[in-house]
Structures are given as C-alpha cells and as structure tokens.
Amino acid sequence: MPSRVPDGHQRGWIIPIGGAENKENDRRILERFVRESGGSEADIVVIPTASRMHETGPRYEQLFRDLGAERVTVMDFDTRRDCQEQGRLTRLEEATGIFFTGGNQLRLTTLLGGTPVARVIRARNAHGVTVGGTSAGASILSEHMIAAGDEGSAMIAGSVRLAPGLGLTNRFIIDQHFRQRDRLGRLLTALAYNPFAVGIGLDEDTAAFIGPDEIVEVEGSGGVTVVDASEVSYSSIARVPDGQAAAMLGLKIHILVAGTTYDLSTLQPSPGRLVHTKE
C-alpha cells in the first residue's frame, strides 16, 4: 500500500516514462526529472536492476551528471539480501530523486518487493522525494503492475498477467511502449480486472509527470492514452473463457500530448497550455 503522507509534507513527484526517451538532442524528460529532483542540488540514485546490461547504470549516471545533478549514485541489487544492507538504505534516505531504468519489471519486483528498500522508497516518496522510471521502471511504480501480456487492441480474457508493483500509488495502472507495441488491449484487460484504477498508456519518449496535487502533466514527443473505467456499466470479463474477446461498456478514453493535463482526483482532462487564441 502507498505510504501515508505525514502532516506538513507533500508527496513527491511520480514520473513514469514510456521508454526510449531522447538521450541525445532533446532531453526534456530527463532534464525535468533532474529539475523536479532539486535541479543543481539534485541527489539522484539510479537503480538499474531491471536491466542485464552492465552499461545501463553508468550511462544514466553520466546523463544526470551532464544535466546538472550535484550527486548521482548507481545502486544495483543482485539478491534480496542486498536490500537489507544499511548502507544502501541510508543512501536512499539521502536522495532527492530515485530513478529505475528499463529492462524486466519482474526482475525488479522479485528482488525488491517486500524488502526494506521498497519500504524506504515508498516512505521517501511520501515525504516529498521524486521517484521515476522508464519502460519496466515505469511499470513497477504503481500498486498493480502489468507483468506481461499480449499485443493487440482487443480486450481478451486472460491476455494480461498482473503482479504487485512497488506501490507508490493505487490510483493508476501503467503500460509503456504503448503505441509502438500495440498495447491497448492488455491495458483494457488489466482495467477490466481492476476498474477502480485509471489506465495510463505511455508512448515512447513520453512521460507523465504526476505532481503532489495528482495532476498528470505530459512531456515528450508522443502521446499518453488515459483510460477511465469509473463509469463502466457492464463488463463480460468474468463470463468469457480465456482467449476470447470480452466486452466493457462505458469507458472513457483521452489522448494527451505535451501541454495537456489530467486530474486523477476529478478524472477530468484539460487542454492546458495548448489553449490559445488566434489573432
């Protein structure tokens, strides 16, 4: 469950990124992550545990240093025992920003889930620390995580596998590489199983910056597909056998781009700074 925000504090930013964020020319997503983590005073811990590539952590370390962060540490985890080391927990307590790289989200949850590291990260976010991640690192941020699923736009019973995520919030379910890998169907199926949540599908090079006020702000070159199941009037997901198409009536779908916003409290989208008047 998400950690309770103490009196006098605000929850930190939660920043899921759809993967393949621009790291060369237009680094606006990573630049803003550094800014929300403290700017020139940012103290960032990079967790590359989802990735099997040894260069992943050092690459993000250099990127965040180049973007002006004051201090960056790569902290990998190979065993669940690593998650109990006091030195690692102390370092996480010091951070103003925590970033999960891409890779395999089940590797993250099986190593970190239920450990002191997971509890510290939830508590630090509740105390105002920014927590973000890209691709697999985005999927794990919420309480309900899409672990795997089939491609395609249809809602198919049994086409998605869910697992417990890090649990920073239970407001939404995230999917990533959304348009590029045709993942609408698996997000819809996940919402059919959990209609209380909001579905957030992130295109590549696109991020949702979710502030303490629960307003989603979009950054990047792609789109964010928001699926609101709060007014669903009928779902057949419990009646059809696995592998068969299911029905869900009453869904609302919004497509957001940079400049638009979505309020997770009121479930209302806004054109935001896209609104302008013609001369």
Q: Please, are residues 147 and 136 in contact by the beta-carbon 8 Å criterion?
A: no
What does the mean pLDDT of the chain come to?
96
Instruction: Give residue 277's pLDDT.
Output: 45
Residues of the chain above pLDDT 70, percent: 98
Average pLDDT, integer, range 60-89:
98
Assigned token pair, 134:
């890209």
Tally of helices (H runs) and strands (E runs) in the chain: 7, 17
Name the residues annotated as catalytic: 135, 177, 204
The structure's pTM equals: 0.96
Per-residue pLDDT tens digits for 12-54: 999 999 999 999 999 999 999 999 999 999 999 999 999 999 9
Per-residue pLDDT tens digits for 77-101: 999 999 999 999 999 999 999 999 9
Instruction: Give residue 273's pLDDT.
Output: 76
Sheet holding 261-263, edge to edge: 71-74, 43-47, 97-100, 130-134, 14-17, 206-210, 215-220, 261-263, 268-270
Per-residue pLDDT tens digits for 100-158: 999 999 999 999 999 999 999 999 999 999 999 999 999 999 999 999 999 999 999 99
Residues of the chain above pLDDT 90, percent: 94
Q: Please, are residues 68 and 40 in contact by the beta-carbon 8 Å criterion?
A: yes
Between strands 43-47 and 215-220, the pairing is unpaired
**Domain 14-258 indexed as CATH 3.40.50.300:** no
Per-residue pLDDT tens digits for 220-251: 999 999 999 999 999 999 999 999 999 999 99
